[in-house]
Amino acid sequence: MGRVIFFIREGARALRRSAAPGIASIVTVAVTVLLLGVLIPVLQTTSGKADEVREQVGLRVFLFDDASPEEINTLQTQIQEIRNVESVEFVSKAQALKILRDRLDAENKEDLTEQLPGASNPLPASFNVKPDDLDNMEAVRSALTPPGADGKPAPISPIIDEVADSRDEATSIRTVTGAVKWFLLVIAALLLAASLLLVGNTIRLSIYARRREVEVMRLVGATNWFIRWPFMVEGLICGFIGGAIAVAVLFLGKEAVVDPLADSINLIRGEDTIAFATLIAILLGVAMAVSAVGSGLTLRRFLRV
Amino acid sequence: MARYQTSGILRGRERGQRRPEHLTERRSKPPIVELRQASKVYAGGHVALERVSLRVDRGEFVFLVGPTGCGKSTLIKLLIRELEPTEGEVLIAGKDIATLSNDRIPYLRRRIGTVFQDFKLLPSRTVYDNVAYALQVIGAARSEIRTKVPDALRLVGLADKTKNYPDQLSGGEQQRLSVARAFVNHPPLLLADEPTGNLDPATSVGIMQTLYRINKTGTTVVVVTHDREMVDKMRRRVIGLDAGRVVRDQAAGLYSDEESTREFAARLRDELGVEDERY
Ligand SMILES: Nc1ncnc2c1ncn2[C@@H]1O[C@H](COP(=O)(O)OP(=O)(O)OP(=O)(O)O)[C@@H](O)[C@H]1O
Ligand SMILES: [Mg+2]
């Protein structure tokens, strides 16, 4: 216990005695953490959006307006029994109209549906059929409309008007978000590598400046760990301060820029991104670990005396 | 504390010293320091030590003398494994220190107090903290540090400079600080590389007395020095090095064996052509 206090005092003392290298480490750590703090949610958002798109993709089975409730029920069970179908959801004519209205509303567009004459509703009722996997979509479609005697597709039920899918749209969305995700990942990796090198280099410089001191410590009988701990404590302190600065900036940024925008721009709305508190904890942890371990590793070179 | 009672030895009274044990054949414990055919060739090819063999027994007080560049500091560095011999063996308390793992070296160094020729003080620590560091390293209790450090500083006359940093000390004060750090944890072996090199005669005598007193408590002391007067007065074992070889090993020797101080003074007078009696 006395040891721990000694090492903490030693680490703090070194920072007080020579602030410049400490400040350099703090700044590099802050920049790195800031990058991380921006990139993690961005990455999560893009992959979140991709998943969302995947989920929306499915077949839509449009029904004729004169389908009776019994016919609809029978068809629903029929579809449910098809292999590779994960779920079937019935959307009535009224629901379809409501969905359209909501969407127009959300996009702040004029509600065209109000201009519809009388109570007429041009939207058909439909089933949203979701395959268990995007790749099984074609199988499900041919199960719904198997080729008839004349070779033309013959729907399994007379109330089926049309079977549509968003397959093309889906795949293109998938490739685009996939590409964006990889691009961001690569950038993030490069940035991280660059800032880790930067942090390592800063630490190396500050330790290099004190290598004589380390040598003397060795010569008067200090063990490597005895020398190393204060440096690691110093790294921890710098990591903490740098991390805290970055987190403060991130928080301000979130409050001032992201949150107001989130209301109008769907892409940065953060439902499926990491919770801010968790993010802070991870970032601080990473910052402290990186700079402490970095100090410890760099020191190794000078401990060979 | 009886501090300045030893001036007698400096007048050379203590002569009936026994011969170094290695000159007789009987030995029970291994010598605390032993070099076997140790050579050191520096990277540039300079031969600093050439097949040096010597033994120092527990409790001895040894002067290591020789012209500048003859390899004295190199020899000291071999003993604490700051350097490793190019050939031959260095044994401390019977153990070949080349076999120590990197992890064990600190424990060797803790048992050897070293006064470095270039002091090797920690620039970012005060006088007090420099001395305390040698105790913190061995995990000494704070209470122990609080009593031992002031004692050591008082002994070398730095009691009133505890808060200074090394760059706020004179050369001689830095040297004394280095001495204090070397013996603060009472090591069984004390190596002093020119501990009086920057000191005035009075302070030199004080340091030598301190070393002598430490030796009296059982610590083996090896002193590298150019201080002819001190060596001649103390009449201790003298090992002479020249160009990396041991050229002399005398039980109660003088700084140089060719001439006495009086003869040297006479030679100086002749060479300088002075008649003044003060020389
Ligand atoms: N690191 C080194 N690399 C190359 N040569 C060295 C090195 N250190 C010392 N030497 C050489 O080795 C020789 C012995 O050096 P050493 O320091 O042991 O001398 P010394 O006897 O202590 O001299 P002094 O009395 O001046 O302190 C010298 O000629 C010196 O130039
Ligand atoms: Mg020397």
Instruction: Assess contact for B203 and B176: CB atoms under 8 A.
Output: yes
Domain shared by A182 and A296, yes or no: yes
Q: Which are the contacts of A112, defined by CB distance < 8 A and separation ≥ 6? A: A104
What is the number of other CB atoms lying within 10 angstroms of the CB of residue A168?
Answer: 8
Low-confidence ranges of chain B (pLDDT < 50): 1-17, 21, 24-25, 279
pLDDT digits (tens, 9 = 90+) for A274-298: 667 777 788 788 878 877 777 777 7
Within this chain, do residues A10 and A46 fall inside the same structural domain, yes or no? yes
First-last CA distance in chain A: 28
Interface test with A, best of B77, B107, B116, B124 (most A CBs within 10 A): B124
Q: How far is B133 from chain A (nearest CA, A)?
A: 8
What does the block give as tokens for B28?
């029970």
Q: What's the confidence (pLDDT) of residue A174? A: 62
Same domain for A253 and A125, yes or no, is: no
For residues A130 and A87, the answer to whether their CB atoms sit within 8 Å is: yes
A262 vs B268: CA distance, rounded Å: 95
Count A/B contacts: CB-CB distance under 8 Å: 56
Q: Which residues of A touch B (CB under 8 A)?
A: 2-3, 6, 14, 17-18, 210, 212-213, 215-224, 226, 304-305
Residue A274: CB atoms within 10 A of its CB come to: 15
- Closest Cα partner for B111 from B219, B39, B16? B219
* Number of domains chain B contains: 1
* Same structural domain, A13 and A96: no
Q: Are residues A276 and A216 in the same domain?
A: yes
Residues A38 and A118 both lie in one domain = no
pLDDT given for residue A267 in this prediction: 45
Name the nearest CA neighbour of A296 among A232, A211, A250.
A232
Contact A214, B123 (CB under 8 A): no
Low-confidence residues of chain A: pLDDT under 70: 1, 46-57, 107-119, 151, 166-177, 258-275, 305
| Co-location of A48 and A196 in the same domain | yes
The residue ranges of DSSP E strands in B176-260, in sequence order, are 189-193, 220-224, 237-242, 245-250
The boundaries of the domain holding residue A123 are 58-165
Query: Which residue has its alpha carbon closest to ligand 1 atom 28?
Result: B69
CB-based contact A223 B103, cutoff 8 Å: yes
Is residue B98 situated within a structural domain? no
pLDDT of residue A173: 61
B46 ligand 1 Cβ < 6 A = yes
Checking DSSP bridges between strand B189-193 and strand B220-224, what pairing results, if any? parallel
The closest of B50, B55, B56 to B87, measured between CA atoms, is B50
Q: Are residues A159 and A210 in the same domain?
A: no
CATH code of the domain covering residue B82 = 3.40.50.300
What pLDDT is attached to residue A142? Answer: 83
Work out which ligand 1 atom sits closest to the CA atom of B226: 25
In the block, which residue shows the tokens 């409501």?
A98
Q: Which ligand 1 atom sits closest to the C-alpha of B74?
A: 18
How far, in Å, CA of A205 to CA of A246, rounded?
23
A36 and A100 inside one domain: no
First to last CA, chain B: 37
Residues B46-90: pLDDT tens digits? Answer: 999 999 999 999 999 999 999 999 999 999 999 999 999 999 999
Asked if the structure places residue B22 within a domain, the reply is no
Strands (DSSP E) found in chain A? 59-63, 85-91, 126-131, 160-165
Q: Is the CB of B48 within 6 Å of ligand 1?
A: yes
Q: Which of A18, A220, A305 sits opposite B181 (nearest CB)?
A: A220
Chain B residues in contact with A211 (beta carbon < 8 A): none
Dump the DSSP string for A200-219.
HHHHHHHHHTTHHHHHHHHH
Question: Is residue B95 one of the residues assigned to a domain?
Answer: no
Residues A243, A262 within the same domain = yes
Pocket test for ligand 1, best of B73, B198, B225, B239 (most atoms within 8 A of CB): B73
- The residue from A165, A189, A206 where one domain ends is A165
What is the enclosing helix (H) or strand (E) of A209? none
Residue with CA nearest ligand 1 atom 24: B68
3-state secondary structure of A5: helix
The total number of structural domains that make up chain A: 2
**How many residues does the structure list for chain B?**
279
Beta strand B112-115 with A126-131: parallel, antiparallel or unpaired?
unpaired
Residue B29 falls within a domain, yes or no?
no
Nearest C-alpha neighbor of A53 from the set A126, A134, A123: A134
Q: Are residues A212 and A249 in the same domain?
A: yes
Q: How far apart, in whole angstroms, are the C-alpha atoms of residue B126 and residue B177?
A: 10
Q: What is the pLDDT of residue B136?
A: 93
The residue segments making up the domain with residue B196 are 60-86+104-272
In whole angstroms, what is the distance from residue B134 CA to residue B232 CA?
32
Neighbour-count burial for B246-269, b at 16+ CB within 10 Å, e otherwise: beebeeebbbbeeeeeeebeeeee
Are A153 and A177 part of one and the same domain?
no
